[in-house]
A = this chain, B = another copy of it.
Amino acid sequence: MFGVPGDYVLSLMDEIVGSEIELVGTCNELNAGYAADAYSRVNGIGAACVTYAVGGFSILNAVAGAFAERVPVIVLCGGPNRGDRDLHRQLHHTLGDYGVQVDVFSHVTQRSVGLTSGDAAPDEIDDAITACVRHRRPVFIEVPADLVSEACRAPAPIDFDLHPVSEPDVLAEAVNEAAEMLAKAEKPVVLGGVEVHRFGLGEQFEALLDHLDWPMATALMGKSVIRETHPNYIGVYSGALSEENVRRAVEEADVVLSIGAWMSDIDLGIYTARIDVGRMIHAGADRVQIKRHHFDDVYLGDFIVGLRDALPKKSARAPRIEPAAISLFEPFESDPNAKITIDRFYQRINHFLGDQDVVLADAGDSFLCAGDLIMHEGVGFICQAFYCSIGFSIPGALGVGLADRDRRPVVFVGDGAFQMTAQELSTLIRSGLTPVIFLMNNRGYTVERVIHDGPYNDIQNWRYHELARVFGGGFACEVRSEGDLETALAGVLEHSDELSFIEIHLDPDDCSAALKRLGAALAEQRFS
């Protein structure tokens, strides 16, 4: 549980400190929220604990991100004593209306509740936790300081294996129609999406894929739903942003079987995606769309299993497409004196990632570039490809590192994003974690320069690599050439028991080809 203390929440924090839960203090509340979100993406659920108003409103943006991206996070928040509320006292941190926090959070959570009595608390808490798990969305629970020590009955056990429930007849009809359409397909493709991950359906999905033996792409949001060394995995699809062979495989397929994918602007390459809805089966968490009609109350997990049972094994009709993992076999030869560029950097990093790594790519060019990295067996890829709140990755690395100390967070973050939440580097060091952080210093908001430039896209340049020392330690260095990069990566291996911070100096106008295409598309959409 990540949090920041404050007087209204100290009594609650005492209970947490005395429990089996580890309470991890962050520098501020927004960062606690990001850390809890990233923790949840690895371990299935996350939690944060903050004080009234000043803490609650500060964590709101992280909670909104978890809501948008369906990440289950429980936010506990202290509050004024009930007696003080009844007297309408002008207490510090308050705004006149004591209910304001619960109201505000009702807009960005599945459930927002203010506890009022020991009698009602067990049910109210259980309802909130259940809603959080069932819908994969954050919930908010406000706890008056004086309620913490009040007696209440023991709570009932909670079933954490919650998900939407299928109507059997609707499920059967949807599976039958989809199977019939797929059985006739000659050039099918599978599109794997984020909800496979959120509902823990990775195994079922991989079993379906092995059964069908069809080419499979993911959207950026769904990247790493299965290991990307899988022979059927061909790469990330997002319209005109995609590599050519992936784009053609998806757009020229006669049936696209989309399993848990989202159709957001970025996942659709800013609406440059050309998928004919008349050739599409689109299964979401609790609903299947075939062509232009919908089946409600069909749970994604049931649909995946149903399809596997209904379809013949290894259809010979599917075309063979070069697996994405082939890029791992392209040798990288370093040119020590060459200035480092974005393209060459990521080509090199593709060979650097290990089997236990979790990549965190911040919103911007970082996630577009990192989308082409190959995630090995068990490698995770975490980014906010839909909500896109920059600054997520540094506190996110804290969440990932504490969710599983055997996995190494590898962060790609631009300088603009880094400045948002830079202080949380300190908590990574304090917690004894060993992330590798690549700070891509291109002197400003490059993603926005490409969309639409102006003086607002320039930022103050920092001596970024010196921050680790200021915050307490770790290995840090600067990279200007390919030779520097090799030295830096050797240093990372030598210092595998501590945090590594590598500042990569880039030209301000160096960015991925994908970003240039995205920028043009966004600029056209925004200003047309």
Contact = CB atoms under 8 A, between A and B. Distances in A.
A526 B8 contact: yes
Interface string A26-61: 011010000000000000000000000110011011
A469 B466 CA distance: 9
Interface stretch (A124-132, A261-269, A272-280): A261-269
Interface in A71-117: 81, 84, 89-97, 100, 103-104, 107-108
A108 B97 CA distance: 10
Contact of A61 (B57, B91, B471): B57
Given A266-B92, A423-B422, A81 B525 contact: yes
A462 B97 CA distance: 38
A256 to B, nearest CB: 17
Contacts of A469: 463, 466
Given A11-B526, A81-B525, A451-B7, A470 B472 contact: no
A421 interface: yes
Interface residues of A, number: 89
A219 to B, nearest CB: 11
Given A27-B420, A263-B90, A472 B466 contact: no
Number of copies: 2
Given A95-B67, A421-B28, A460 B448 contact: no
B25 A526 contact: no
A5 interface: yes
Interface of A: 3, 5-8, 10-11, 13-14, 17, 23, 25, 27-28, 30, 53-54, 57-58, 60-61, 64-65, 67-68, 81, 84, 89-97, 100, 103-104, 107-108, 145-146, 262-266, 271, 386-391, 419-423, 426-427, 429-430, 445, 448, 451-452, 454-464, 466-467, 469-472, 522, 525-527
Top 10 A-B pairs ranked by shortest CB distance?
A57-B61, A54-B389, A90-B264, A27-B419, A430-B460, A5-B456, A58-B61, A10-B452, A28-B420, A92-B388
Given A6-B448, A58-B60, 12 more contacts: A8-B526, A10-B448, A10-B451, A11-B526, A54-B388, A58-B389, A60-B104, A89-B271, A90-B262, A462-B472, A466-B470, A467-B470
